């Protein structure tokens, strides 16, 4: 058998106190994420170290409204993020030499 389903769910409560950095004020809120990743392997699925493998993944994320645009001008931020849910899709390949 060459198929597995990887999944992850996470919750994080953030209490951010930037001490005036970039004119930001303290804020707190919650962040949620749920990921599903169907995985296809060349070797036996029972062998954790069996490679190569290809994963297709989708993640759904949501957060408290208070956290909207909190890091919009940081290196990893974006001005369009709003609470209410965001979807992310992708593909990943892993191989070892």
Residue 43 maps to which CATH number?
Answer: 2.20.200
pLDDT at 50: 77
Residue 41: how many other CB atoms lie within 10 Å: 19
Place 86 in a pLDDT band, splitting at 50, 70 and 90: confident
- The mean pLDDT value for 58-82 works out to 72
Is residue 47 in some structural domain? yes
Nearest to 31 by CA among 49, 1, 11: 11
Our CA angle for 68, 74, 75, nearest 5°, is: 125
Is residue 78 in some structural domain? no
Number of separate domains in the chain: 1
Place 7 in a pLDDT band, splitting at 50, 70 and 90: very high
Range of the domain at 38: 3-72+85-94
Backbone angles phi, psi at 6, to 5 degrees: -95, 145
Q: What are the angstrom distances between the C-alpha of 55 and each of 33, 42, 52, 66?
A: 18, 12, 10, 33
pLDDT at 21: 64
């Amino acid at each position: 058998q060459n198929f597995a389903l990887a999944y992850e769910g996470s919750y994080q409560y953030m209490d951010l106190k930037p001490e005036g950095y970039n004119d930001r004020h303290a804020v707190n809120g919650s962040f949620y994420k749920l990921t599903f990743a169907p995985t296809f392997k060349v070797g036996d699925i029972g062998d954790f170290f069996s490679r190569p493998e290809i994963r297709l993944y989708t993640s759904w994320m949501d957060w408290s409204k208070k956290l909207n645009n909190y890091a919009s001008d940081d290196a990893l931020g974006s001005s369009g993020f709003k609470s209410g849910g965001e979807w992310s899709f992708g593909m990943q390949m892993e191989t070892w030499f």
